[in-house]
Amino acid sequence: MRVGLFIPCYIDQFFPEVGIATLQLLEKQGCEVVFPEKQTCCGQPMANTGMEQEGKKIYADLAELFSDCKYIVGPSPSCVNHIREHYDIIEQTEAIRHLRKNAYDLVEFLVDVLKIDHLDASFPYKVGLHRSCHGLRGMHLSKPSELMCDIPLKWEKVLGLVEGVELAKLNRSDECCGFGGTFAVAEEAVSVKMGKDRLADHLANGVEVLTSGDMSCLMHLQGIAGRQKSGPRIVHLANILNGDKL
C-alpha cells in the first residue's frame, strides 16, 4: 500500500522526532511510505488569519505532490481536517478531490484503514490524553461529552493497544487547550489561561505523560509548563504508538 507521508510545518521545523516515529510506525504496518520533499504547510495559518486567497497556491501544490499516493497520512488531525473541510474554496480538480478524499490523520488511518488490533509497544506511564478540538469535533476521533450518540473512541483504542499505558480520567476531558493556531498570538492572555487550566487538570489527576494527536496543542502546553516549571512530560501519540522510550 503506497502511502504519502504528510508532515505539518511545525513538526518539520520543531519536532522532527514525531515525523520519524510516524514513518517508522507506518513501515512497521507494512506500508510503502513516500515523502514528497517539496511539500509545505497545509495553509491553515493563512486561512486562520484571513488570508485564505493567498493559500490557494499552497492547496494546489500540495494536492499535485500527493496525486500518485493511494493514501495521504499525517500526524495531525488539525491539518488533515483543514485539508478536508477548507480546500473547498479552490477549483475542485482531480488532484484536489483525491487529496481531500484520501487524507487521513495517523490514528484514523491505523483504525479505519489498517484496522490494527496489535502494537509492539510498551509505555509504562499514567498518560493524560488531550483531545484536540479539530480531532474531537472535526474528525470525530473520540466522543465529545455534549453528544449522546455512539462514536468510536479511536484515540483510546490505539492507546489501549500499548502495553503498560494507564489512561488518566480527567475532570474536563474535552476542553480546548487555548492554542487555536493564531488565536494564541491574537488573544495571548486568554490562550495562556486556557492552557494553564488544561495543565492543572492533568496534574490534579496524576498524569505523568501528556499526549495528543496534535503537536501544536502539545507545543502550547509545553511552553506554559516550562514557564511555570511544573507539568507532565509531553509526548506525541506517534512516539508512544511507535514504542519510543522516554
Q: Give yes or no: residues 187 and 223 share one domain.
A: yes
Do the domain assignments include residue 61? yes
* C-alpha separations of 84 from 22, 90, 107, 230 in Å: 20, 12, 16, 37
Q: Collapse the DSSP code of 177 into the 3-class scheme (helix H, G, I; strand E, B; otherwise coil) and give the result.
A: coil
Do 59 and 139 have their domain in common? no
Domain boundary pick from 113, 135, 168: 113
Same domain, 101 and 159: no
Q: Are residues 169 and 232 in the same domain?
A: yes
Number of domains in the chain: 2
List pLDDT tens digits, range 72-129. Answer: 999 999 999 999 999 999 999 999 999 999 999 999 999 999 999 999 999 999 999 9
How much is the pTM?
0.95
pLDDT, tens digit (0-9, with 9 covering 90-100), for 144-198: 999 998 999 999 999 999 999 999 999 999 999 999 888 888 899 999 999 999 9
Q: Do 97 and 183 belong together in one domain?
A: no
Same domain, residue pair 71 and 151? no
Structural domain range at position 71? 2-113
